Structure 1
Amino acid sequence: MRTTTPETVAELIASQWGDHRPGLKYADGVLSHHRTAREAAARAALLVDLLPPGAEPHIGVLLDNTPEFPFWLGAAALAGAAVAGINPTRRGPELARDILHTDCRILVTERTHLPLLRGLDLPGVHLLVTDTEEYEALLAPYAGAKPGDATLGPGPNPSSRLLLYFTSGSTGAPKAAICTQGRLAGAGASLARHFSVTPDDVHYICMPLFHGNAVIADWLPALAGGAAVALRRRFSASAFLDDVRAYEATYFTYVGRAVQYLLATPPRPDDRAHTLRLGFGTEAGAVDAARFAERFGVRLVEGYGATEGGASVQRTPDTPPGALGRAGAGDDLAVIDPETGRECPPAVLDPQGRLLNGSEAIGELVNKGRSLFEGYWRNPDAEAARTRDGWYWTGDLFFRDPDGFLYFAGRTDDRLRVDSENLAAAVIENILARWTRAAAVAVYAVSDEVAGDQVMAAVALREGAVFSPQGFASFLAAQPDLGTKMAPRYVRVVGAMPTTATNKVHRVSLRGEAFQTTDPVWWRPRGEDAYRLLEADDLAGLLAAYEAQGRADLLGR
């Protein structure tokens, strides 16, 4: 592993030159580190020739996890350009907006995604389709290029933009976070040191490369540590272990519900027969992390550090179960009540680490000190909201124990207000995850008929399990840290949890449908303790109550 921190990602790409060890593994073969650097250099030279004079040095990349994606990431780094990762689950005007908003004059895609572009008005955008003869012919004259041969303007430096990566956009149009080469090179080197990445490692990239997790937490530390990467075109829970064995992978990253999907696969006698040593990601939850370690023998490390770079939490050896760690170097993190602007009191935890004062202890994580946030592309309003009062507001809910360790409690958008009490969806989810019949759980707010919110949960059951209203109610009653306002009023049983392209729960769709769905919904009417099925007459009565209170328009928000 390298002992010095490079100043740019371009340096990391160039350092692969002459290294003929395996560097990139994928379904059709293996390429050396040298070959991947050569392919990046060829595309950098093509990029410099194709980009119109005076244009922003931005490339849109609309690809699955094929070798072309890291080739173009490397090309952008070498040329001093930036990649905007384009989400293939976006459609129509939203997809066109992402491409045009980031001023992409070149869009790299593949034939499987061409139908998404039909009918879109993309003026001035040059389309490159990677799996065509025309593309191969276009690249051929640049086959002899080397790193450093072709650059834009002064060439890459630490302040050069490299990524314009979109946030989830759950509360509006996605924002393109700016990530420079200097910050990304430092992040990759830091993770490589933290996880002791060596050239003998293989990083399995099964999360989409258009999302920051796969690039920042998987591809970059592999570059910094000299490790190989192995690509999966799209995440597959059923193919996960087969891929890990075939590629001899040692490390992977995850986001959202990926870990739950892996746990939902049928157990196999050889579940521990593999080379994995570590998984790193977010939102697995303490219960599922423990189940994963028990079944697969792999430690999962939960981390926190948004693509924007405004705050980070560093895990230390003394970090207690369920916590993410303490503030990262240089950060001055506080948990703030956004309504009062005051710091929330420390969490009160029982001997099992269960939160007992969530209403008071949970607030928004704020960085009051130095921030690495580099802004959003052409979005000053979003920048101002993120950095109001001179602080960096993460948009994430946390609580802090008396020793200063921080615990993730969800997004600020996932906060509920039930009978004037503030609740965090992630805290309730972590409790419901203990229910052995559940394969996946999502908690979200639905508007109350009169005021505030009610708690609703979507539950995907384990194979062969059935929903027992009595059994579920008994489970809830046995949870000592389930507050009096936390028990779901509505429980929707889903065949599969709806998710985004990055395997996060699609809460927007769940909230939008509320209890008006074809899935079975169980509920507890006011004044009743038992769950019963929400029938057509019940639904009609509920909707009439919303109408009578003038709150019908709040349903589905």
Structure 2
Amino acid sequence: MGSMRRTVAELVRERWGDHRPGLWFEGRVLSHHRVAAGAAARAALLADLLPPGAEPHLGVLLDNTPEFPMWLSAAALAGAAVAGINPTRRGPELARDILHTECRVLITERAHLRLLDGLELPGVRVLVTDTDAYADLLASYDGAKPDASGATPDDRLLLYFTSGSTGAPKAAICSQGRLAAAGQSLVDQFGVRPDDTHYICMPMFHGNAVIADWAPALAAGATVALRRRFSASGFLADVRACGATYFTYVGRAVQYLLATPARPDDRDNPLRMGFGTEAGAVDAAAFEERFGVRLVEGYGSSEGGAAIQRVPGTPAGAIGRAAPGDDLAVVDPATRRECPPAVFAEDGRLLNGADSIGELVNRGRNLFEGYWRNPAADAARRRRGSPRAESGGEVENGGGWYWTGDLFYRDAGGFLYFAGRTDDRLRVDSENLAAAMIENILARYPDAAAVAVYAVPDPVAGDQVMATVALRAGVSFDPLDFGAFLLDQPDLGTKMAPRFVRIVERMPVTATNKIHRVGLRREGFRCADPVWWRPPGECAYRRLAEADVDGLMAEYRARGREELLMR
């Protein structure tokens, strides 16, 4: 079976001699052949730049320009690995990412050079792509041909950072074989054709853009279209200009697109589908209604440890069933017992969330290839299950389970529903709640453009629910109207209503358009934005005043819980 595994290098070599459009960028088009030739030249340059005996790693600190996919392809041909460097990182954190992944070459552009000012990067050769010196350096490698003979499926190709709520980002390893297989799997799943165009507007330093957008395009011989950085206002113009048929999204990108002014010709576009995560059922339906484009919500652990595929008959709100080969279970992390199936009311409300929501675990073989130089993080992902099987719903099988860090629940038919991150679980009055479920309810609020739900410590025990709401343009927050909306939601449990509501003009997000929950939790109700709250025993929301904050802080101090607000 090993001989059947493809490498990304082989896929790059296959594009040599293909003169169809291969790469679109800001109105300019390169053929597949030109892209493969550019990758071959860069691979030859890289072979000369990497010191003997050093780890064959290069960092790429770029926006989504043609240099990014060409260096990915070059690394594959050279048997090297690319560490995608996040340009929103600063100072020592940025230096740490480059040095931790042992990059001996750093590819960047003039716009990002200021990020490197004052950084100590010993032994790192910096190449600046939009300079004459870089062009002259590459010119001496013109005529190089792509050679895939030295690449193996087990060669490291990606070192991409995954964020967490605490600690430094971890660099997940992805091999050539895994990336090539992931691309082919999406080709088969979505029927990707050579005449398709994949629009990449999510940042390529993140796994989503490379694994779910670039890799299937490469596997199918489709065209890749790049946007330097995601732009909601420029989305449709780009899609029409490049003829995009497919795009990926993460985080709040879909909400930002829906927040743009509607136009009568919104449905006049070539898109066939979008694939991603965290759009939510409400926004996905609104997107299809407005733009005529179906969004497919998927799930795949960034590290490759678990995947869920949508299949015919998947209920509304569910993601799908376990991908072939995965043995997925929803497990209570405390007892390591499998959670009971979800029970729904006639209107679709989940009735037993406290019992049915648990962490998604893959008990079978998985594709997780580890983190670079981080054995503690490896061990946290690969933890043993129950030491022995017992009656009463014990999950069978022993150690080595892959723990995703994501919350799910499963219905009686085996369909899986996403319920948030384990870090986003709340415990209110001894009841476990999932932030994602509350967010899905609050997203129905007509005046909300984006919603984030997270825990703030309760002064006595457990958590309280806090929500940050970004309002649609031209509206102001009406606490009475919001309170009435909450009362009208049949699936809003008695513990779910937010105690605090923060109003922002724009939701704070990370570079990958995911909500910056760490920052929101850290600031809590002590922030510069207006906050409304329901004091204990009161039903209506009112503005949180300085005297209210002083009173709350005194209560935290009196009960020895003030330090929890700093985490």
Fold match (TM-score > 0.5):
yes
Describe the superposition over 1:114-158 as per-residue Cα deviations: whole angstroms up to 9, x where unpaired: 00001111110011110011101111111100011xx8xx82110
Matches for 1:147-546 after TM superposition, within 5 Å: 147-148=146-147, 155-389=150-384, 390-546=400-556
How far residue 538 of structure 1 moved from its aligned partner, in angstroms, is 1.0
Q: Matches of 2:208 and 2:508 in 1, distance apart? A: 20
Counterpart amino acid of residue 411 in structure 1: R
Deviations 1:14-51 (A, max 9, x none): 11011101000001510000000000000000000110
Q: Distance in 2 between matches of 1:6 and 1:341?
A: 35
Q: Deviations over 1:507-532 (max 9, x none)?
A: 01101110011211110000111111
Give the match for residue 77 of structure 1.
76
The answer on whether the counterparts of 1:81 and 1:162 sit within 8 Å (CA) in structure 2 is yes
Mark the CA change 1:60 to 1:280 in structure 2 (over 3 Å): closer, same or farther: same
Q: Deviations over 1:384-411 (max 9, x none)?
A: 0100102000000001011000011111
Deviation at 1:6, TM superposition (A): 5.8
- Whether the 8 Å CA contact 2:64–2:228 is kept in 1: the answer is yes
**Matched residue SS, 2:284:** helix
* Cα distance per residue 1:308-344 (max 9 Å; x no partner): 1000001101111111100111110000011111111
Amino acid corresponding to residue 523 of structure 1 in structure 2: W
Q: Deviations over 1:209-247 (max 9, x none)?
A: 000000000000001111101000000001000110111
Conserved 8 A contact 1:6-1:12: no
Task: Report the alpha carbon displacement of residue 467 of structure 1 after superposing the two structures with TM.
Answer: 1.3
Partners in 1 of 2:437 and 2:420 — Cα distance?
8
1:5 and 1:471 map into 2 onto residues whose CA distance is 60
- Residues 290 and 5 of structure 1, relative CA distance in 2, 3 Å threshold: farther
The Cα shift of 1:57 comes to 0.6
Deviation larger for 414-423 or 342-351:
342-351
User: Residue type of the partner of 2:74?
Assistant: A
What is the alpha-carbon distance in structure 2 between the residues aligned to residue 144 and residue 337 of structure 1? 58
Please tell me whether the aligned partners of residues 314 and 326 of structure 1 are also in contact (alpha carbons under 8 angstroms): yes
Question: Aligned partners of 1:434, 1:82: CA distance in 2, in Å?
Answer: 43
Q: TM-score, normalised by structure 2?
A: 0.96
Kindly indicate whether the alpha-carbon contact (under 8 Å) linking 1:5 and 1:186 is maintained by their aligned counterparts in 2: no
Deviation per residue, 1:397-442 (Å, 9 max, x gap): 0010110000111110101111111111001000111111111000
SS of aligned partner of 2:39: helix
CA distance in 2, matches of 1:352, 1:255: 28
Question: Cα distance, 1:353 vs. partner?
Answer: 2.8
Which ranges of structure 1 fall in alignment gaps of 5 or more residues? none
Report the identity percentage. Answer: 75
Cα distance in 2 for residues equivalent to 1:42 and 1:28: 24
Equivalent residues of 2:27, 2:241 under 8 A apart: no
Matched letter for residue 38 of structure 1:
A
State the distance in 1 between where 2:349 and 2:73 align: 45
Letter in 1 for 2:77: L
User: Following TM superposition, where does structure 1 have runs of at least 4 consecutive aligned residues deviating by more than 3 angstroms?
Assistant: none
Q: Name the counterpart of 2:113.
A: 114
Which residues of structure 2 form unaligned runs of 5+? 385-399
Mapped to 2, the partners of 1:349 and 1:162 lie a distance apart of 44
CA distance in structure 2 between the partners assigned to 1:423 and 1:200 by the alignment: 45
